Amino acid sequence: MTQKLEATAELKHASADKFYGFFKNNMNDLINVFPASFKTVQLLEGEEGSVGCVKLWNYVIEGIPMIVKAKVEAIDDDKRSLTFVAMDGDIMQMYKSFKAILNVNDGFANWLVEYEKALEASPSPDIYLICSSIHKSPIFPNSGLIKEEEHLKFGSSIVNIKLLPT
């Protein structure tokens, strides 16, 4: 059974276009923004910022090195929406399917994760919500998306991490 998890963050110091543009065109910079979490990224297929782009990510969650092969499934620039689908890797041991959708509206970024657990004991994927990581990183302000002195205000703006009805 497919389940959904959602997180919303208020964008206090980044325009919706700038935030969306970072995830569409500069997502590789996550290895510089979060060096403790994202180790390497390799473009395997397609073109950066386009549908069909496939990347291999090496990352660390709770001290455990992991990999994921993920594909950009959909892009809607008018709605500032990106859809990513996990194709292979460690995440697929926990989930039969895993899709992350980013929607950026004026003032807010919304992540929706649609997933199906591979095992009943598989955890909820809330740790994968990028909003959760953003507010914990002391170096995220260096990305230019938010002002360093306002980091704590951005961090406290995470709201509505919740399971949604299927």
Please state which of the four CATH numbers 3.40.50.620, 1.10.8.640, 3.30.420.40, 3.30.530.20 is assigned to the domain occupying 3-25+75-164: 3.30.530.20
- Band (7; pLDDT cuts 50, 70, 90): confident
Starting at the edge strand that comes first in sequence, how are the strands of the sheet with 54-61 ordered? 38-45, 54-61, 64-76, 81-89, 95-105, 108-117, 3-10, 158-164
pLDDT at site 24: 94
Which carries the bigger pLDDT value, residue 124 or residue 92? 92
Rounded mean pLDDT, 34-63: 92
